[in-house]
Chains A and B, each alone.
Chain A
C-alpha cells in the first residue's frame, strides 16, 4: 500500500472520529436548548384565569368521568398531573399505593402540605379503586370534596394532596 494512501486514511480516520464527537455535541446542544424552564410559581398565577373559565363552563371531560363512575372501565395506571412529581406514573397491579412524605411510601411526596402518611389508594373486592385519607392534617380532596370516608375513584377524577394532583388513567 502506498505511503500516501495510508497517510490519507490515517488523517481521514481522525477527522471522522472528531466529526462524530462534534455531531454528538451538536445533539447535546439541541437537547440543552430544547428544554423549557417552568417557573413553579407561574402555575399558580396562570391557574386563576383558567379556573374562572372552568367555573363558567365545566370542561366536558369531567362530566364524562362522572358518567363513568362505577362503570367497568378499569384504570391501569396512576398519574401525577400537578406538583413537583408531575409526570410520574405508577402501574396499578392490585397493590395498595401509599402516598405521603414517609420514605417508604409508594409515592414520596415532597410537599409541605402533605403528612408523612397521608393517604392510600387500594382496590376493593370488586376491583374498584378506593382512596382513603389516613388522618392527614390538611386533608385529601377528591374533585372538590374533602374525604372523610374511603371513597371510590372514577377514571380521571383528580385527587388533590397539598399541591400535588393525581388521577387514575386507563
Chain B
C-alpha cells in the first residue's frame, strides 16, 4: 500500500502510529523501576530512623509489586494498545506516597498524640482497592463511548454525590469542611472525589452535542464573542452549583475544581477564548463574594496572606471563635529547611505539622526530606500523567473520548495545582488531597479509576486501524451537485 507520490502539503493531516507497537514491554520495564524506587526509599527511612532495614520491607515490596503486576496483566489482556506511561507513573506516585505515610507513622511525636492510628497499612489496603477498581474499569468498560449513553444520568449522579455530605445523618463535618459521608461499618467517604469523574462524563456528553451552538451562535462585542443567553444557561448553572458547594460545604478546592474543569472542557469544545475570560471572571466574583461573608474561608485567606500572624495567634491560644492554624507557616518552614537537596528520608521534622501531616500537608514532608530537587521530580511525574492524558485526547478519534480525556486530565492537573499551590502558599489553602501521594481512601481509589478510564480511551485511540479491504474503485462514488 506504500506510495511514491509526494503528498500535497496543503491538506490537513491525521496522526497514526507506525506499525502500532503495543509497548507493553516498555510499560513492564518502567513498572519494575517504579516499584524499585519506593522500596529503596522505604529501606532508606528504616535505616535513618531505626538504624536497620525495616522488617516489613519484603512484604511492602511484594504488595506494591503485586498491585503493579495485576494492573499490568489486566492492561496487557484487556487494553493492549494503551499508553505505556500512565500505569508506571501512577504506581510510582502511589508507592512513594505510601513510603511518606509510613515514615510519618514512625514519628515519635505523632505516636504520642491521642488520635494516632497507623495510616500506612490502611493506605496500602485502599491502594489495593484502587488497583482493583482500575482493573474492573479496564475489564468492564470495553468501549468508553458506552459512557456517552449515561450523559444525563451522570449529571443526576454527580449532583447526588455532591449533595450527600449535606444530608443530615450521613454527612460528616471534619475540621470545618463538610465533604465526608459516613457509611456505618465501613468508615468515611469523600464523594466529591468520585463526583469529579462522573461530572467529566456529563460535561463531555453535553458539550459534544451542544458545542456547535456554543461556538457559532454568538455576537461580537469588544473583540470577544459573547454567547447567546440560552447557551450561557448551563455554565451559569454549573457556576451556581459550585458556589453552593462553596457556601454549604465550605470546600473551596472542590468548587474550584468543578468550575475549572467545566471551563477547560468548554474551551476545548468551542475554541472560544471568551469562555476562559468569562470563567475567570465568574470564579473571581464567586470566590470574593463568598469569602466576604464566610468566616471559614476568611481564615484561610488570612492564613495565606499572613501565615506568621496566624501562627502567633494560634500559639498564643487566642479564642475569638475562629480556629487559627499554625500549619500553613509550619509547611513553609518545612520547605525552607529542606532546601535544594532535602534532609534525607526520615531526617526531617515535618511531623511537627501534626494531624494533617500525612494528608493535606504531605507535600511539606517531601519538601523537607527530598528537597526542591525531589518535589520538582514529583511535580514532573504529575505533569507527565497530565501530558499523557492530553496526548490521549489528541489521538482519540471520537469527540466524546477527546472531551472526556481532556476533562479528566484537566481535573487532575487542577487538583495538583490547587493542593500544591495551597501548601506552598501560592493560593489560599484548601482541603484537598494530593492525588496518589496523600493519605485518603476515596482519593486514591477515585484516581485509580480515573487512570483506568484514561487508559481505556488511549487504548481505543492507539489501536491500529484494521487494514482496509480491497478498494472497489473510489471514482465510482458519484457526487451529486445541487
Q: Does B40 sit at the interface, judged by CB under 8 A?
A: yes
A1-43, CB under 8 A of B: which get 1 and which 0?
1000111011111101110110111011001001111111110
Q: Is the CB of B373 within 8 A of A35?
A: no
Contacts known (A10-B345, A141-B477); A21 close to B381, Cβ less than 8 A: yes
Range of interface residues on A (Cβ < 8 Å): 35 or more
Q: Is the CB of A38 within 8 A of B14?
A: yes
CB closest chain-B residue, reference A7: B344
CB closest chain-B residue, reference A89: B466
Q: Is the CB of B469 within 8 A of A37?
A: no
Contacts known (A5-B47, A34-B17, A144-B476); A103 close to B208, Cβ less than 8 A: yes
For window 446-465 of chain B, which residues contact chain A by CB distance below 8 Å?
Answer: 463-465
Question: Please, how many angstroms separate the alpha-carbon atoms of A141 and B143 in the complex?
Answer: 28
Q: Is the CB of B469 within 8 A of A81?
A: yes
Q: Is the CB of B397 within 8 A of A39?
A: no
Q: Does A86 sit at the interface, judged by CB under 8 A?
A: yes
B22-53, CB under 8 A of A: which get 1 and which 0?
01001000100110110011001001100100
Question: Please, how many angstroms separate the alpha-carbon atoms of A40 and B11 in the complex?
Answer: 6
State how many residues of chain B have any CB contact under 8 Å with chain A: 78
CB distance from B137 to the nearest CB of A (A): 18
Contacts known (A41-B8, A42-B8); A24 close to B384, Cβ less than 8 A: yes
Q: Does A85 sit at the interface, judged by CB under 8 A?
A: yes
Question: Please, how many angstroms separate the alpha-carbon atoms of A42 and B378 in the complex?
Answer: 43
Q: Is the CB of A54 within 8 A of B472?
A: yes
Which of chain B's residues have a CB closer than 8 A to the CB of A16?
A: 36-37, 40
Q: Is the CB of B26 within 8 A of A61?
A: no
CB distance from B199 to the nearest CB of A (A): 20
Which of chain A's residues have a CB closer than 8 A to the CB of B8?
A: 39, 41-42, 45
Cross-chain contact of A24 among B85, B342, B467, B479 (Cβ < 8 A): B85
Which of chain B's residues have a CB closer than 8 A to the CB of A146?
A: 478
Q: Does A88 sit at the interface, judged by CB under 8 A?
A: yes
CB distance from B147 to the nearest CB of A (A): 15
Q: Is the CB of B344 within 8 A of A6?
A: yes
Q: Is the CB of A21 within 8 A of B377?
A: yes
10 nearest CB pairs, A to B: A87-B465, A41-B11, A42-B7, A59-B470, A39-B7, A10-B344, A46-B3, A81-B468, A17-B377, A40-B11
- List 14 A-B residue pairs with CB atoms under 8 Å apart, sorted by A's residue number: A10-B341, A10-B345, A11-B341, A28-B387, A34-B21, A36-B15, A39-B13, A51-B471, A62-B470, A82-B468, A143-B472, A144-B476, A162-B477, A165-B468
Binding site for A on B (CB under 8 A): 1, 3, 5, 7-18, 21, 23, 26, 30, 33-34, 36-37, 40-41, 44, 47-48, 51, 84-85, 88-89, 92, 142-143, 208-209, 341-345, 347, 370-371, 373-374, 377-378, 380-381, 384, 387-388, 391, 397-399, 463-480, 482
